[in-house]
Structure 1
Amino acid sequence: MVQGITQWLWQCVTSPVALPVVTAFSLLMVPVPAAQALDEGDLQRLIETNECPGCDLQAADLRRLDLSGANLEGANLKKANFFYAVLDGANLSGADLSSTNLSYVSALTLISDLTNSSGQPIEIPAKFIGADLTGALLNYGDFSGADMTEANFFEAFIDKTQFVGSQLQRTNFASTFVHDIDLRGANLCGSTYWGGNDYRRSCDVPVTDLNE
């Protein structure tokens, strides 16, 4: 269903009224909870402890929750609703975020109360390493500084979202709708870009040394 919706959004974007329509649509697109999939115990665990790696939170309603520093590594978050949620410093590496609503999400670097050997505060970036974001909505979000290495954005819809200084190496942007995003300082080395070609900006090795 989401793939069909994504195709519709692609068609709409050529219209002068496309952006208002698409934005309004994304705000209204709230996943219907799937009682047979969501583990209520896992949801309660997340809310109480901010720790739920590998949990089953499919179609969970997580709107406007402050999940700063949460551990959701490898969790099933398919069709979850993170509208306006705070994911600063959260770990969603390896999570299934397919068809998830990440509109207006904040996923910035968390400044810890702990300090390093130099006495400086420890910075904890939000992590989406290897996360599956197939068909996800990422409108008006801020993922600046996030580590999204090898994340899969296949057929995702991304509009007016910031990835300033983000780690996007070897990410998959094939068939992704992208409009008005900020990639200043982002590392896109080896990512599969919109045209289906490997993107080689900010690579650590010369272009001639990369595999074709």
Structure 2
Amino acid sequence: MKSVTLGAVSFVAIFGLATAVIAANPQEINQLRQTNQCPGCDLRSIPLQQASLANADLKGADLRGSNLREANLSGANLSGAFLSGASLRQANLAGADLSRANLIGADLTGANLENAKLKGATWIDGSIK
């Protein structure tokens, strides 16, 4: 019985990971890597931990559920971006434009928000630590 349960859990875990990878558009991921610009791109649930995205143009990008832990997003344009459920723990957002960004459920624990533009950003009170 244990092997059946373990097999079912493994299947769900693998299928879940495949779904997360499929959510993002591979061409747009390559565009971001090559140009540091991807306004309006679908980058949902992709791992970008420790990514160097300083001054990136991600205006209106869909980054829901993405792992941006310890990423350098200093000076990045994230205005109107969808960051709900994203992990931004320890991310450098100094000078980033987060105006009108959706940060509901985003984890901003330890994030550097020095001089970040937050006008019109939406988040649940207490999410910034």
Task: Tell me the TM-score range normalised by the shorter chain.
Answer: 0.7 to 0.9
Give the superposition deviation at 1:158.
2.5
Which has the larger Rg?
1
Q: Which residue number in structure 2 is paired with residue 150 of structure 1?
A: 120
What is the match of residue 205 of structure 1? none
Give the distance between the partners of 2:119 and 2:44, measured in 1 at CA: 23
For structure 2, the 5+ residue unaligned runs are 1-16
**Residue aligning to 1:105:** 91
Counterpart in the other structure of 1:66: 52
Aligned positions of 1:1-212 closer than 5 A? 34-108=20-94, 125-154=95-124, 157-159=127-129
User: How many equivalent pairs are there?
Assistant: 113
User: What SS class does the counterpart of residue 34 from structure 2 fall into?
Assistant: helix
State the AA in 2 paired with 1:136.
A
The answer on whether the counterparts of 1:95 and 1:128 sit within 8 Å (CA) in structure 2 is yes
Q: Aligned-pair distance for 1:63?
A: 0.5
User: How far 1:155 moved relative to its partner?
Assistant: 6.0
Consecutive unaligned residues in structure 1, runs of 5 or more: 1-31, 109-124, 160-212
1:56-89: CA deviation from partner (whole Å, max 9, x where unpaired) = 0000111001100000000000001100000111
Question: What's the secondary structure of 1:35's corresponding residue?
Answer: helix
Question: In structure 1, how many angstroms separate the alpha carbons of the residues matched to 2:60 and 2:46?
Answer: 15
Q: Percent identity?
A: 36
Matched residue type, 1:154? I
Once the 2 structures are TM-superposed, how far is the Cα of residue 156 of structure 1 from its aligned partner?
Answer: 6.2
Higher relative contact order (CA 8 A, sep 6+): 2
Residues in 2 aligned to 1:56 and 1:155: alpha-carbon distance in whole angstroms: 26
- Which protein has the bigger strand share? 1
State the secondary structure of the residue aligned to 2:29: helix
Regions of 4+ moved over 3 Å: none
TM-score of the aligned structures, taking structure 2 as reference length: 0.82
Q: Residue 72 of structure 1 aligns to a residue in which SS?
A: coil
